[in-house]
Structure 1
């Protein structure tokens, strides 16, 4: 029984070969890592701090991509993290919007 959980790796390998495997996985990991950071971090950072964080994210993504090459489900995990944080942010926005509407309707 083959317990391969890296669906993205298999898809990229079958459709694009192994020539650009690292590059494709790196870009995917970087995109989903940036989305997860943006959705998960509550405060706005100054531009230089943001730049530093994204540079460190790019370095960390390199390490994560190495794990992806060893068929660990890193890209899939980042996709799930981004989806969960996206749903959380959407629900939070809806809740704040409803609370604002309730407060406005109560004041004369």
Structure 2
């Protein structure tokens, strides 16, 4: 079995099999950015700067493990789907609040 057939979409896009160092760094950055987006859209609250720094530090460290899994499992793809769902939710919530404010 060829390893290129088992790569996830983003791993294949970044050609992890041909250039592993650059490809894994690109995959890592993609997963970090998508994780931050999902965190900000779905879970972030107003926190002091030091607590926010610690949360983002652990988020970035945790993405290291997700990157190794993301080479063959659809980790980044799942984060894209989660981000899209949260974006749709935020848009609908904003429209609903705007509509409720207009009726009052």
Question: How high is the TM-score relative to the length of structure 1?
Answer: 0.83
Give the structure with higher Rg (CA): 1
- Work out the number of aligned pairs and report it: 100
Structure 1, unaligned stretches of length 5 or more?
104-108
Q: Which of 58, 66, 69 is equivalent to 1:67? A: 69
Q: How does 1:1-108 map to 2 (within 5 A)?
A: 4=6, 6-13=8-15, 17-41=19-43, 43-69=45-71, 71-103=72-104
Runs of 4+ more than 4 Å apart: 2-5
Question: How high is the TM-score relative to the length of structure 2?
Answer: 0.86
Q: 2:15 and 2:52 mapped to 1: Cα distance?
A: 33
- The residue that corresponds to 1:106 in the other structure is none
Structure 2, unaligned stretches of length 5 or more?
none
- Which is bigger in relative contact order (C-alpha 8 A, separation at least 6)? 1
Report the aligned-residue RMSD.
2.0
